[in-house]
A = this chain, B = another copy of it.
Amino acid sequence: MGAPLNERSQNILEAIIEDYIHTAEPVGSRAITTRHAFHLSPATVRNVMADLEDMGFLASPHTSAGRIPTEKGYQYYVESLLQIRDLSEEFRSCIDDDTRFAGKCMEDVMQEVGNLLSGISSYTGLVMAPRFNSTIFRQIEFVRLSQGRLLVIFVSESGLVQNKVIEPGIDFSARELESITNYLNHRLPGMTITQVRERIAFELREEKTRLNKIQKQAFELSDKALQGDIAEQVYVAGTSRMLEQPDFASHDSMMRIMRTLESKQQLIELLDSSQSASGVQIFIGSQASDSKIEGCSLITAPFSGQNGAVGTLGVIGPVRMNYSQVIPIVDFTASLVGRLLDRES
């Protein structure tokens, strides 16, 4: 059981998995001997396959079909057998094409990155934009709109802009607003938005007495402006690519997957765990999620600029996924997006 695989078994397992990734059909012993130049007869291969099945790397749908890899098989393949090739020059240049992102706002860039991931991998692309709450505060500005309404603008260290309309109740003069702005821009930079909120709450609660009027108003305004959570932005691209996969031919599995891909919330949960990791992460089948996306694997990578804004992107596809191609794509794209973020700020 726990015995390590000898080289021949490894080669055969690799051949089976790669054939299956390619054809989506159970692989038989004869197919292996003809498609690969092992100097072995089908019978020998059969013996090896039987062993691999005993060890849990392969399974047979029924007696007279070939073998298909199990999740454990894929996991072993990805960890031990797969050598990750460098991304082909063709793809490299296709991804790193400046014209694609030229002159687009953050949202459009994120969407375009999703399209890119989906287009090149031919699976479904996911991008979770940097969460605003974890970005670093740089600047706040107030713009007076009509009838005592104020537009509040936050700018993060990474150049993200977030705005919100509030109705403070008091009609501030331009001078007052300027003082408030100056005060806040003096005190708050360098903290994450979450920290800023905590600080505001702290100041308002504990040290009320110590503050002068402008200071108090400043904190009250910014408190109001930061109320309410800013939802994560998730971008999905190429969901119809899922329908192309023979693995999801059944109506049922299709529905389950499309429903999940529609739910931003569920996607956030999927991507969230990879947020803090570094480098490419691979979730195969049940590793990815508790049956919400049965039969799917997920390849993710966090991206970040030099200034701390952090997001996650990835590709989701069937467990029978072309890992050797997708992994470098996700890796390279994440680093590209990191560079894009730096450019923006």
Contacts and interface: CB of A to CB of B under 8 A. Distances in A.
Given A143-B141, A153-B153, A240 B228 contact: no
Interface residues of A, number: 32
A164 interface: yes
Contacts of A155: 143, 145, 151
Contacts of A105: 164
Nearest to A178: B174
State how many copies of this chain the complex holds. Answer: 2
A244 to B, nearest CB: 7
Interface string A163-179: 11100000000000000
B258 A239 contact: yes
Contacts of A138: 146
Contacts of A139: 143, 145
Interface in A217-265: 228, 231, 237-240, 243-244, 249, 251, 254-255, 258-259, 262
Nearest to A244: B255
Contacts of A255: 240, 243-244
Listed from nearest, the 9 A-B pairs whose CB atoms lie closest are: A240-B258, A141-B143, A240-B259, A243-B255, A240-B262, A161-B163, A103-B228, A243-B258, A145-B155
30 contacts: A103-B228, A105-B164, A108-B231, A138-B146, A139-B143, A139-B145, A141-B143, A143-B143, A143-B155, A145-B155, A145-B159, A151-B155, A151-B161, A153-B163, A159-B165, A161-B163, A161-B165, A163-B163, A237-B262, A238-B262, A239-B258, A239-B262, A240-B255, A240-B258, A240-B259, A243-B251, A243-B254, A243-B255, A243-B258, A249-B251
